[in-house]
Amino acid sequence: MTLSRRNYLVASATLLAAAIAPRAAFSQTTIRQGYQTNLWGMPTYYLLRSGLLEKRGLKFEEFGVPSGNLTMQQMVARQVDLGTYAGPSLILGHDKGGLVAIAQIEHVGKTASVMVRKDLGLTRMEQLKGLKIANQTGSSVGNIFVDQIAPAHGLKKGDYQEVRMDVNNMITALSARTVDVMVNVEPYNAIAEADGLAVKIMNYWDVDKMPVFMAATPDFIAKSPDAVVAYLKAWLEVARDFKDNPAKVADAIYAFYTSKGYTLSQDTFRKAMSFVDVNPGFPPDLQPYMQEQAEILLREKKIAAIPDWRKALRPDFMEKARAGA
């Protein structure tokens, strides 16, 4: 059978449309991406600088904030579509605004520490009684310190003075001696150590490996499910960069901190980066961990009920991303 010129052109146009349809569909999708400017958010920052979203036809607007609980609040208010934070913030966000985990991006338990001013000469958690402790109240790190770590070492609320502040202001407060202790994350801990301001007396890893999730609003999922899958495919490529080209990743992220005025050496920064384990996926053991975190938050009256995990945890998007990667 021979094709007329007209039928040939129609067939060619149909094939071309099919080939470009996925990208065209996403060309109308602009992701409002939230991330924290501490090291937890830097894999997301790298994603935004990598060109991998544009490669898949996705546009974005970025919203950087000091910590993930602020991104969570932006998402509850529907000002942001996607953002990263640890389990407690995800549970709070699901309770307040139906937020949904679409992937586990990283483990950051080694990046979170309790740091004490070096001149105080303290070495144990029990010695913090009566001291001024800088804490980002409402953050996952802050909640875990107040609800789990401090009580486990005999420190009840009222045994210490909690000084509420953003993590990126804590080094200045330590230097000025307006606080004695900071509950902080990388790279600020490494900077404080390198500058001789503080020493680490405990690391969160032994208490909580702290998976960090990429969460989405239910509105964004309902509106753009295919874009969510394409987005996660880009994350799988980011993971390969972290594994196979760590110097390229480190240089991009190091440039972020130096552009903000932080003076830290490449060695200090690479030490901080080594504490972040980037491996996007959806491990099968997440629900028991999240159940434990939710029970703590419920006991502390921070949430109204234990989430329905079938709604709060959505591994199906990552499964589709891997299948088509």
pLDDT tens figures, 122-155? 999 999 999 999 999 888 889 899 999 999 999 9
Q: Which of 237, 222, 256 is nearest to 54 (CA)?
A: 237
Angle at 259 between CA 179 and CA 64, to 5 degrees: 70
Whole-number Cα distances in Å, 91 to 42, 79, 252, 282, 284: 22, 18, 31, 16, 18
Cα separation, 107 vs 84, in Å, equals 12
Largest CA distance in the chain: 90
Cα-flanking dihedrals φ and ψ of residue 18, to 5°?
-65, -40
CA separation, residue 28 to residues 24, 58, 59, 280 (Å): 7, 8, 8, 26
pLDDT band at 309 (very low <50, low <70, confident <90, very high): very high
Phi, psi of 58 (to 5 degrees): -105, 130
222-238 pLDDT, tens digit per residue, is 999 999 999 999 999 99
Q: What is the pLDDT of residue 3?
A: 45
Mark out the alpha helices in 27-166 (DSSP H runs): 42-50, 52-55, 68-76, 87-97, 140-144, 150-152
3-state secondary structure of 106: strand
Give the list of residues 6+ apart from residue 158 with CB closer than 8 angstroms, or none: none
Question: Running DSSP on this structure, what letter comes out for residue 98?
Answer: -
Q: CA gyration radius for the chain?
A: 22
What pLDDT, on the 0 to 100 scale, is given for residue 269? 85
250-295 pLDDT, tens digit each: 889 998 988 888 777 888 888 888 889 999 999 988 999 999 999 9
